[in-house]
Structure 1
Amino acid sequence: MSISKKLSWWTEARYGMSLHFGLYSLAGRGEWVRAQEQMSVEDYQRYFERFEPAPDWAIQWARLAKAAGAQYGVLTTKHHDGFCLFDSKLTDYSSMYTPAGRDLVREWVDAMRAEGLKVGLYYSLVDWHHPDYPAWQDRQHPLRHDSASEHRDRAANWDRYIEYMHGQLIELCSNYGVIDNLVVDFSYWQYTAEKWGATEIQNKLRALQPDMIFNDRWGREARQRLPRATYAGDYEQTEQNIPQQCLKDDQGERIPWEGWFTLTNSWSYSATDALWKSPSTIIRTLINCVSKDGNLLINVCPDGKGIVPAQAVDIMEEVGEWMRSNGESIYGAGASSYAKPEWGRYTQKGRTLYAHLTDQPIGNICLPGLRGRVKRGRIVATDTEVRICDYWNPVVQSFDGPDDIFFNFASPTAATYPLPDARATVVAFELNDDVATQQERERLDTAIQAAMVSRTVM
């Protein structure tokens, strides 16, 4: 997989955190609450009139992202409801005109940089508040069934909306220093690609931020390589889904991708959603993504004050504790050429193969096809050596394949030992080069044959 220079930090990072935060956080019923309940502008205004995040909301969130082991973050600067968390000169529908009276994007960007984290900004192409964005019989607009919308839409001017949307994206890419990642959301029906003026705005944004990377939601998926549109994303972003294998473009070449998941079942704060994913689930999801050359972006949901719930803090801090001990198997790692083993997954970095054990093995642990290829192994979290061994009883019984080798955590190697970390135990194996591989294979084959002869003589 060829990676562009500007994308290298992202594939090295492998793990980020996002947050959905806005007026909908005060409602506590999800970020689509206005559309789902078909609220009028007046009904939704009550959240605007009392929106006032805690003074240190951004600092606390950035510190949590750092503690969780994340390397980058993504903030919703404007969601589908059209409300802006930044000081836009193009609208007064922003945090500047709420009781907060502050540029929250500025606060968040500063907090992220203080923690040494990369900065990503989310911006919705959709806008339910703007008068020039069509509403009548739209698939999701809050006023899609309001008869007054049909008359309103006749007076709407799409070009005027595109000018507004482009202007806000230019503001975001001009006023906050270096932006590492821009996530746009989303295309549907005829609202796709050049309907958004995608080529024009992409060219302008790349001129402003030449090293900024983009996701793939302007309208053409990143996996289409030939012909490749100017506005095509630098990576593909899957939502609540992990591919079964490494993603490839239409020419068969592997492409970078990111799995975007929620910590509960909600993208924004929901007072009734307590279905928290466990730290083990997040850790194993991260391993799954990296084992297929992907990233994980996990979304947390601050409440109306911008405070992350205590349950989310506990979960993400435990993920961070695991990452501090095992991060070398994630950061900068990617897919291995070896097939997924039955007890977990592999990631790889150069000649180091990381075995992520998530299922409790019984007896000695098989490394399929690795006979003669393994020099040594160690538990990453403790740097403790593991015992690389042959099948414990090769004369009486056979094992799955002549190229298999085994390991275990202690002796006797035929015994069963609990995983040192039930969430995911990581063992790093140093692999031989091709010459050493062949020599080791021949040496082990000779040793096995000698052992079999010795058993027969006895």
Structure 2
Amino acid sequence: MTHEHPLITARNQRTEWFLAARFGMFIHWGLYAIPARGEWVRSLEKISNEAYQPYFEQFNPTEYQPREWAKLAKAAGMRYAVLTAKHHDGFCLFDSQLTDYKSTNTPAGRDLVREYVAAFRAEGLQVGLYYSLLDWHHPDYPAFDDEYHPMRGNEAYRDQPRDFQRYLDYMHGQIAELLTNYGKIDIMWFDFSYGDLHGEAWRASELINKARSLQPDLIIDNRLAASGEGNNSFGTPNPEIYAGDFACPEQLIPPTGLVDQFGRSVPWEACITLNQHWGYSASDRDFKSSRQVVHGLIECVSKNGNLLLNVGPDAKGRIPAECQLILQEVGVWMAEHSESIYGCGRSQLEKPEWGRYTQHGSTIYAHIYERGIGPINFRGLNGKVKRARLIADNSEVKLELPWIAKDYAADLFLNWPSAQLPNQTATVVALELDEGPEARG
């Protein structure tokens, strides 16, 4: 008899709410909203601290209304959010006592994290904070030899003295502030390990022990451990203490979901941008449609995963109008179909040709994307479905075995009465089984 590792047992308990929620909002926001060329602008354009300083002196998001952000997220069907408390440029949206490089010292004069936490809590959403392990502003973070630092390869930085342990003290101290000064925090989203900087290079065990002492129910991503974006020990039977509670593939929905060495599903979320950038980019108007977003969400759930969908507010503190419209449209679909998302997961049935299945207990949800021609086939379900209904209005859906389909006696067919689906984004039929097994996972 095998016994599950205590860290895995604890991880599975902590992530129960997370995996039921299924849909969250990622928010990338900071000084980089002013140059408006994405959150990596400092690195890509090799901008020094001095050249970046004017953005600090200009930062004044007079239209920042986090309650409106929270209402938008909630209306879209999102159940949690993650905000960049500090991104790679080192600028803090919170009133840290360990640095002057923070929002309270800009013209904004406000602790923007505190306002975010209060606003999202008030809307009943779970609250997460993103914290970059990198810091291009801190004097002790590696610069000349680092592969991402804006001053990489700059001769003026070759021999500058740097004390990385002093930076780690600073980093650990700021994380303690975030987990002490803002009430209950549900998610800590670290970003990211690379090269030799992973695991204990961050004093990760010490960091996790401190975080858990401050917030026992906190769930943490796997990027303290992972060099690059691999799972490292996360999906093994013996994870390190800092392996994390969930994996977070970026800009990718894993083809078959994520599983451990025994084929069992592990907690994960795909973090995806709405356009091509995380931070605000004034010229990037390549937005995904609401239909694409809904299909991505359904795909994640059908593979036992979550979708963390990103918005990048502008320098005034506004979520772009295009993002708002997309999320509002997603919310219209979710208002009628969230039953097939929340608390659901992978189905016992294989992916059909017309869409995807999700499942909760003995109810299978058929997400139909394409009407096709002729009856819609539910393979292998003849004699197994006691009731079928359209979840948008709970109206009965009649299933049958047409005379013309006598060679498919194991299947059921939905002979839709019209040439068009009632919902062009995704029509959802709930198939309540007589004795259906629980969803795999």
TM-score by length of 1: 0.90
Residue aligning to 1:41: 49
User: 2:243 matched to 1:235?
Assistant: no
Q: Is the 8 A contact 1:386 1:408 kept in 2?
A: no
Counterpart residue type for residue 105 of structure 1: V
Is 2:235–2:259's contact at 8 Å kept on the other side of the alignment?
A: no
Q: Distance in 2 between matches of 1:74 and 1:190?
A: 27
How far apart are the structure 1 equivalents of 2:109 and 2:405?
74
Correspondence for 2:19 among 5, 11, 23 = 11
Structure 2: state its 5+ residue gaps: 1-7
Mapped to 1, the partners of 2:169 and 2:436 lie a distance apart of 58
Does residue 163 (structure 1) correspond to residue 169 (structure 2)? The answer is: yes
Instruction: Please report how far the alpha carbon of residue 192 of structure 1 lies from its aligned counterpart in structure 2 after TM superposition.
Output: 0.5
Q: Which residue of 1 aligns with 2:355?
A: 344
Partner residue in 2 for 1:438? none
Say yes or no: does 1:274 pair with 2:285.
Answer: yes
Give the deviation of 1:67 after TM superposition: 1.3
2:306 corresponds, among 271, 295, 304, to 295
Output the CA distance in 1 between the equivalents of 2:281 and 2:32: 9
Residue type of the alignment partner of 1:298: L
**Separation in 2, partners of 1:434, 1:276:** 39
Contact 1:223 1:250 (8 Å CA) reproduced? no
Deviations 1:9-52 (A, max 9, x none): 11110000011000001110000001111011111001000101
* Residues 260-303 of structure 1: per-residue CA shift (max 9 Å, x gap): 10000110110110001000000000000000000000001110
- Which of the numbers 407, 423, 426 marks the counterpart of 1:424? 426
Partner of 2:413: 406
Task: Give the match for residue 5 of structure 2.
Answer: none
Alignment of 1:308 onto 2:308:
no
Structure 1 distance, partners of 2:351, 2:324, is 32
1:138 Cα shift? 1.4
- How far is the alpha carbon of 1:408 from its aligned partner? 2.7
Residues 71-86 of structure 1 mapped to structure 2, 5 A cutoff? 71-86=79-94
For residues 206-226 of structure 1, the C-alpha deviation after alignment (integer angstroms, 9 at most, x for no partner) is 010000101110124264323
Which of these residues, 324, 330, 334, is aligned with residue 341 of structure 2? 330
Matches within 5 A, 1:69-218: 69-152=77-160, 155-218=161-224
1:25 aligns to 2:33 (yes or no): yes
Secondary structure of 1:260 counterpart:
strand
CA contact under 8 A between 1:73 and 1:120: conserved in structure 2? yes
Offset at 1:56? 4.1
Unaligned runs of 5+ in 1: 411-415, 436-458
User: More deviation in 240-249 or 191-200?
Assistant: 240-249
Shift of 1:55: 5.1
User: What stretches of structure 1 move > 6 A for 4+ residues in a row?
Assistant: none
AA aligned opposite 2:413: F
Contact kept in structure 2, 1:54 and 1:307, CA below 8 Å: no
Counterparts of 1:368 and 1:251 in 2: how far apart (Å)? Answer: 28
Across the aligned residues of Structure 1 and Structure 2, the Cα RMSD in angstroms comes to 1.5
Could you tell me which amino acid in structure 2 is paired with residue 66 of structure 1? K
- Residues 142-193 of structure 1 deviation map (CA, whole Å, 9 limit, x = unaligned): 00021111121xx111110110000000000000000000000000000000
Distance between the aligned counterparts of 1:183 and 1:265, measured in 2? 21
- The amino acid across from 1:215 in the alignment is D
The answer to whether the 8 A contact 1:223-1:248 is kept is no
- Provide the residue aligned with 1:456 in structure 2: none
Q: Does residue 378 of the first structure (1) align with residue 389 of the second (2)?
A: yes
Q: Percent identity?
A: 51
Structure 1 CA distance for aligned equivalents of residues 174 and 234 of structure 2? 28
Distance across 1 between alignment mates of 2:116 and 2:63: 11
Is the contact between residue 57 and residue 305 of structure 1 (CA under 8 Å) also seen in structure 2? Answer: no
Within a 5 Å distance, the mapping from 1:348-359 to structure 2 comes to: 348-359=359-370
Q: Give, as a single letter, the amino acid of the residue that structure 2 aligns with 1:116.
A: G
In 2: Cα distance, 1:434 partner to 1:257 partner: 25
**Higher Rg of the two aligned structures:** 1
Q: 1:264 aligns with which of 275, 281, 285?
A: 275
Shift of 1:392: 3.5
- Residues 57 and 434 from structure 1, CA distance in 2 versus in 1: closer, same or farther, beyond 3 angstroms? closer
Shift of 1:244: 1.3
Instruction: Give 1:54 shift.
Output: 2.2
Code of the aligned partner of 2:120:
M
Looking at structure 2, the residues matched to 342 and 245 of structure 1 have their Cα atoms a distance apart, in angstroms, of: 16
TM (norm. structure 2) is: 0.94
Output the amino acid matched with 1:101. Answer: G
1:425-444 matches, cutoff 5 A: 425-433=427-435
1:4 aligned counterpart, secondary structure: helix
Q: Secondary structure at the match of 2:303?
A: coil
Q: Is the 8 A contact 2:63 2:317 kept in 1?
A: no
Counterpart in the other structure of 1:251: 262
Instruction: Give the Cα separation in 1 of the matches to 2:308 and 2:170.
Output: 29
| Separation in 2, partners of 1:271, 1:360 | 38
- Offset from partner CA, 1:361-389 (integer Å, 9 cap, x none): 21111111111111111111121211110
